[in-house]
Structure 1
Amino acid sequence: MVFISPAPGHGHTIKYLDRKVSRYIALELNTFMHQIRKLCSARGFTVRRQTEVILSCGAEDVSSELQEPNSVDTLISIFTLCSVPEPEQTLSALVRNVLKPGGYSALLRARVE
């Protein structure tokens, strides 16, 4: 199972991932947050085995970076979309270009309008 998390910050969701997750992809523009690798390693995800991928790109560039369009089973976004300028376009790009047909997405958003 392939899991993607846009702007995961320090990676707090990693410890809650099901053991069925075989690949963890983080979309993190802030390189100071790349300390997330320590948590990934503790859960068995590594760059060497290509089970951990940290991308410093926006949602619109993910599919070309992954070179595997529509290859993600699960998309979890926690308090992310409230901090991007165009949340609808960001989410649409991820669902359309990254998530598998029939894939699962879960969103938790802090901003109320």
Structure 2
Amino acid sequence: MFPYLKEGDIVFFKKYKKNKSILKNRQIVIFNHPVKNKKLIKRIKSVNQNNVEVIGDNIKFSEDSNKFGLINKEKIIGIFTSKLIIPKLKNFLIQKNRSTSLNPK
């Protein structure tokens, strides 16, 4: 499967609320990596009471549950809702973000 999201895509999500949000197979979630200090966006492969198995769309190159195992639901930050698909606006926002993060004088 080709990746639905690419690096640099601007995504929107709803905040995950334990015991209120419903997680389903094939949803895309944002979560804290179970070991490393970084955030990941992956698709849910399976859900059980306390844990979620996640898988990347590009399985061959993905860092997902195949490498780090199940993730605890408490690691989930949000559930993906949409992505920005207007190329000119996306490029503008990326450039604006880069200009503010470069070495300010």
**Which TM-score bucket, shorter chain as reference?**
under 0.3
Identify the structure with the greater strand proportion: 2
TM-score normalised per structure 2: 0.26
The TM-score normalised by the length of structure 1 is 0.25
Highest Rg: 1 or 2?
2
Per chain length, whose mean CA-contact separation is higher, i.e. which structure has more relative contact order (CA < 8 Å, sep 6+)? 2
Higher helix residue share: 1
